[in-house]
Structure 1
Amino acid sequence: KSSLANEYDRLEMVELAIKDYPNLRASNIEFTLPKPSYTIDTLIHLNEKFPEHDFALIMGSDNLDGISKWKNADILMRDYQFYVYPRPGYSQEENYDNVEIVEAPLMEISSTFIRNAIKDGKNIKPMLPPKVWEYLDGSNLYG
């Protein structure tokens, strides 16, 4: 947790990254929910506030491997669609009806990798959307 930027900086980077994708929306809903923040609580809140929408989770297969340890994992797996990005070294099998492994190239990149690379002074510009790179380059978030 100490290696993460504050929630407002992270939200800004998400908004910059999805700016050109009209079907995606960033949300600050977790800013108002009790801490610690649990995915199931966020989804229940979103469903209550926006019942006309369906919500899904997007995650790497590394997170899917540990989903059984999440709060109310059984409800998450029963009630929500998962879109899973393949990660090297993790299962790429669809073990659940509502899990779709997206067809994407296997890349050894993660948010932790990006944060560590910035900290180590490596060039990560090619790995980020240009606006996110500009935001990070003009800050000292992970340096």
Structure 2
Amino acid sequence: MKIGLYFGSFNPIHIGHLIIANQLVENSDLDQIWFVVTPHNPFKKKSTLLDNYQRLEMVYLATKDYDTLKESDIEFNLPQPNYTVNTLVHLTEKYPKHDFALIMGEDNLKSFHKWKNYQTILEYHSIYVYPRISEGKIDTQFNNHPKITRVDAPIIEISSTMVRKAIKEGKNVKPLLPENVWAYLDEMNFYK
């Protein structure tokens, strides 16, 4: 089984995440997409994150009605800050019959050469890149790379940061979130 790993803080998960994941699973050779909830991204400030299990619950709520989309807490018990290469090694050992691929936005591909052991990741795993509007150039070594597949997907300009800011300002964000995620956020008074 080929699994696409969609890493993120998902703070909170929004419809843009679901649109991209569904587009990828329906229009590629990926059998499933696992939303890997990241406890602490080395490039982000931890203070803005909701509790790991609250974010995992929101991902569960958002994906529970999809057969091909799953939540994953695989990184919760790995040393922090965690690096993608370590997670991939752990998953490959735990699920030897699965083939794991990375899913990332074009903006992340631009900084991929700064990732820990990025050459090792590319040696053993495919990367599926969805379009993003972003500045800067992609390192030429990633152009036409046999392990990197560019996927035709809608450009989604919704961000979790934008959602959190709008909630804090008392704006209606209901259309930007899966309905049960919005209900959970509203009930828990998150980001207010």
Give the TM interval when normalised to the shorter protein: 0.7 to 0.9
1:106 corresponding residue in structure 2: 155
Please provide the CA RMSD for this pair: 2.0
- Tell me whether 131-140 or 84-93 shows the greater mean CA deviation: 84-93
1:32 CA displacement:
1.0
Tell me if the contact between 1:61 and 1:84 (Cα under 8 Å) persists in the aligned partners: yes
The residue correspondences of 1:1-143 to structure 2 (distance < 5 A) are 1-90=46-135, 95=143, 96-143=145-192
Asked if the contact 1:61/1:92 (under 8 Å) is kept, the reply is no
> How many Å apart are 1:39 and its aligned residue?
0.9
Which structure exhibits the higher relative contact order, with contacts defined as CA atoms closer than 8 Å and separated by 6 or more residues? 2
Q: Spell out, residue by residue over 1:67-101, the C-alpha distance to the aligned partner (whole angstroms, 9 max, x if none).
A: 11111111112222222221112579872322223
Q: State how far apart, in whole Å, the 1-side matches of 2:182 and 2:154 are.
A: 22
Segments of structure 2 that go 5 or more residues without pairing to the other structure are 1-45
Q: 1:38 to 1:55 in 2, by over 3 A?
A: same
In structure 2, C-alpha distance between the alignment counterparts of 1:121 and 1:100, rounded to whole Å: 40
Percent of aligned pairs sharing the same letter: 55
The 2-side partners of 1:114 and 1:77 are apart by: 33
Structure ranking higher in strand proportion: 2
Partner of 2:17: none
**Normalising by structure 1, what TM-score?**
0.87
Return the alpha-carbon distance in structure 1 between the equivalents of residues 181 and 47 of structure 2.
20
Unaligned runs of 5+ in 1: none
Q: Deviations over 1:44-82 (max 9, x none)?
A: 101000001111222222222111111111111222222
